[in-house]
Amino acid sequence: MTLALGCIADDYTGASDLANTLAKQGLRTVQTIGIPSADLPLPEVDAIVISLKIRSVGASDAVERARAAQDWLRTRGAAHVMYKICSTFDSTDAGNIGPVLDALRADALETSVLVTPAFPETDRTVYKGNLFVGAVPLNESSLRDHPLNPMRDANLVRVLARQSTAAVGLVELATVAQGADAIRTRLELLSTSGTGAAIADAVFETDLEAIGTAALAQRLSVGASGLGLGLARGLIAAGTARRQQRVTIREQPIGGPAACLAGSCSRATLAQIAKAEQTMPVLRLDPEKLVTDPSETVERALTWATEHLTKGPILISSSAPPDAVSRLQERHGREAAGHTIERSLAMIAGGLVELGVRRLVVAGGETSGAVVDRLAIPAFELGTEIAAGVPVLRTLGTQYGEMALALKSGNFGGEGFFADALAIIA
Ligand code: ADP
């Protein structure tokens, strides 16, 4: 199998965002959870995104895992590997972007690589090496006080230089605007003077296309989903990949019982649950009991599900409005309450699958992560979008056969989201 593009994402949600961006551009895309086993059955695809959790672990740990991911992608035939970082360049002077970049570059036998976290669609732009979040420089945005990676310097040439063993250069917007050849020439010049990485300015999508095309002449690049967009367009323009219609589940229905799980307490999800109550049975779990007596609550929920599943889709929810959430958190602590509820919902997901559910819609980012871990899903193929940012996911390599999933961040989707999702994952 030849793979046009291999990606290593430093966290799961970033990986999903990148995979969805690539699929939207027309690449047949698979997202894996961690580094897959050698024998993972894969369909013919253009891109694979390996989701790691290495953004905030120790640098040596991050380097080791990223190198293993690159090895896996290269053995699968990846000609180009993109290391996916956050569009706000989340990192500290200890890493992990610099150390991982240095190691991947050495393994890829490159001297200098292009780096850009720009993603104009989400208002992340880079000018003169400075990253802007909306209208303000990174260090004036809320990222200044991020609990894990406080970003106090908007100049990415300096930020990356503090993390990397090699010198860091800049490909200015004026060069980027001249196109891919000009970018390559500039990068070659920088690399002859010992530069190991070059921050590339980008303000518009056309800049990302030029950067993506230039990067494809090399074996490695570093950036956020915006760079993925540029690489995908570059691959299609070069004829290396063909623009595909996104796969619809309807072509090969999954069938079997369907269920929805909601652990998000966002305003959007609360409205979506209220709407779903008009069309399907909804079980509202008692959050207090979910925390204090999870096994009993999970068991009751599964008994309820057994009674209703044969008649049609169901929804099980722990979601509550903000005042109730705050009260629960005051009683049990924010982390403890959150994690216990996530685990309980994941156990319910496991039970539902044992009951035969093969179509599952999950609301909540953390909740979705817990469900995916519990179901030990190795990989997904990306399908059509149900709502912006929420693709249909078809599982690959699970022990209980194929499933169709929709995993949604709290605020995503319109009011009829649950019914919309169920209509699409036939
Ligand atoms: P979102 O995508 O909206 O942020 P998440 O699933 O990421 O949703 O986060 C929601 C968090 O709230 C999870 O940790 C979940 O376990 C927790 N949670 C769910 N229901 C309740 C509740 N009733 N009270 C307090 N916390 C809850």
Where do the domains of the chain lie, and which CATH numbers do they carry? Answer: 5-238 (3.40.50.10840), 258-424 (3.40.980.20)
Rg of the chain's alpha carbons, rounded to an integer? 22
For ligand 1, atom 15, the nearest C-alpha belongs to: 338
Contact 160, 197 (CB under 8 A): yes
Q: Distance from the CA of 409 to the center of ligand 1, in angstroms?
A: 11
Ligand 1 in reach of 328 Cβ (< 6 A): yes
Ligand 1 in reach of 218 Cβ (< 6 A): no
Contact 52, 11 (CB under 8 A): yes
Q: Distance from the CA of 263 to the center of ligand 1, in angstroms?
A: 5
How far apart CA 360 and CA 365 sit, in angstroms, is 14
How far apart CA 148 and CA 17 sit, in angstroms, is 21
Q: Distance from the CA of 367 to the center of ligand 1, in angstroms?
A: 7
Ligand 1 in reach of 410 Cβ (< 6 A): yes
For ligand 1, atom 13, the nearest C-alpha belongs to: 338
Calculate the CA 121 to chain-centre distance. 16
For ligand 1, atom 12, the nearest C-alpha belongs to: 338
Residuewise pLDDT in 10s, the chain (426 residues): 579 999 999 998 899 999 999 999 999 999 999 999 988 888 889 999 999 999 989 999 999 999 999 999 999 999 999 999 999 999 999 989 999 999 999 999 999 999 999 999 999 999 999 999 999 999 999 888 887 888 999 999 999 999 999 999 999 999 999 999 999 999 999 999 999 999 999 999 999 999 999 999 999 999 999 999 999 999 999 999 988 877 665 567 888 899 999 999 999 999 999 999 999 999 999 999 999 999 999 999 999 999 999 999 999 999 999 999 999 999 999 889 999 999 999 999 999 999 999 999 999 988 999 999 999 999 999 999 999 889 999 999 898 889 999 999 888 999 999 999 999 987
Ligand 1 atom nearest the C-alpha of 367 is: 6
Ligand 1 in reach of 129 Cβ (< 6 A): no
Nearest to 394 by CA among 23, 82, 137: 23
Ligand 1: which of 341, 371, 373, 407 to mutate, judged by most atoms within 8 Å of the beta carbon? 341
Q: Distance from the CA of 425 to the center of ligand 1, in angstroms?
A: 24
Nearest to 121 by CA among 4, 205, 14: 205
Q: Is the peptide bond before 20 cis (omega within 30 degrees of 0)?
A: no
How many of the other CB atoms lie within 10 Å of CB of 1?
10
Q: Distance from the CA of 62 to the center of ligand 1, in angstroms?
A: 28
Contact 249, 425 (CB under 8 A): yes
Ligand 1 in reach of 337 Cβ (< 6 A): yes
Who's near 152: CB < 8 A, 6+ residues apart? 139, 144
Contact 180, 153 (CB under 8 A): no
Nearest to 247 by CA among 2, 73, 30: 30
Token pair recorded at residue 425: 């994952």
Token pair recorded at residue 49: 């995104």
Ligand 1 in reach of 263 Cβ (< 6 A): yes
Strand 359-363 versus strand 404-408 pairing type: parallel
For ligand 1, atom 5, the nearest C-alpha belongs to: 364
For ligand 1, atom 19, the nearest C-alpha belongs to: 263
Looking at the whole model, is its pTM more than 0.95? no
Contact 168, 195 (CB under 8 A): yes
